[in-house]
Amino acid sequence: MEIGEIIKLRNFFHINGETALHKNFLFWFATLFPLILASCFAYPLTHGLEMLGSVEAYSNFISIFKLPLWIGSGSLIFGVTVSRFHSSEQRAITIKQSINQNNFSNYLNHRDHFQKYLKPISDNFDVEVDPFKIYGIIFSSSTPYNANVMLSDGIFDFFSEKLETEFWSKMKFSAPNFTNQEVNIYFPRFAKSIGINAENIKLSDFEELNSLLIKIRKIYRRAMEYGITRETSESFQEVEESGFSMLIGEFSQWAHENGFKKRWS
């Protein structure tokens, strides 16, 4: 027998809690098979049998058809058993749906509260943010099916990778002939990739760029305070804070060595 046929056969005997009990094949099999089997055993015993209304005849009937009657009673027993299994399956589905609904509700509440939490922070630093984008970065494991308030492990790595690929590598390629136009093309792309609204970003010199990087670092620092940290000797926020600071320091050192700190032509 092929695997496909085995799977089809198993589906026949599977209890589907999402459909009515009488639409499950197993229910009919459990109730009808004992009756059919009992009839097969009873049929040979009916030859020459006289049906009389006496007590003796009734006693003989019970004695003769003891086995078929015992087999036939299994119809009720098996039918009730399948019914209980079906009810149990329905309860499991209901519980699962309730858990999914609660997870989805918790996810939306956590994300919406994060948006409200982040707005005054971005207003304080005068930087427009995409709170849902940032939420997806610092709570990458949180989904509508599994709300998770633990901070992501690779926030700094993500930040570093985006700065390198979206902006820094482009400046390295342009060195030493940097232009204001290039900076204002590539830096907004980097900013957008980490959840900073970049439509109005216009930079004229390195000090403006460095100031914006520091503001972004502080926004992320405050945003991460919204999450739950791991138990380490040093808080997760402090680790990420130092990571962001190191990254900005490395970029600043590169800018100094390659003349990027001068006013762009």
H-run or E-run covering 219? helix 206-224
Q: Are 223 and 195 in contact (CB under 8 A)?
A: no
Residue 152 and residue 141 in contact, taking contact as beta carbons nearer than 8 Å: yes
pLDDT class of 76 with cuts at 50, 70, 90: confident
- Report residue 233's pLDDT band, with 50, 70 and 90 as the boundaries: very low
Q: Does pLDDT of 226 surpass 90?
A: no
The amino acid at 153 = D
> What values do phi and psi take at 64, rounded to 5?
-70, -40
- Tell me the mean pLDDT in the region 171-192: 90
Q: How far is CA 41 from the centre of its chain?
A: 55
Summarize pLDDT for 126-154 with one digit per residue, the tens.
999 999 999 999 998 888 888 888 888 88
pLDDT of residue 54: 66
What is residue 164's predicted lDDT score, i.e. its pLDDT?
93
| Beta bridge partners of residue 228, listed in sequence order | 150
Q: 5-62: per-residue pLDDT in tens?
A: 555 556 656 777 777 877 787 788 888 888 888 888 877 777 766 666 667 677 777 7
User: In the 8-state DSSP scheme, what is residue 208?
Assistant: H
- Please give the mean pLDDT across all residues of the chain: 83
Q: What is the pLDDT of residue 50?
A: 64
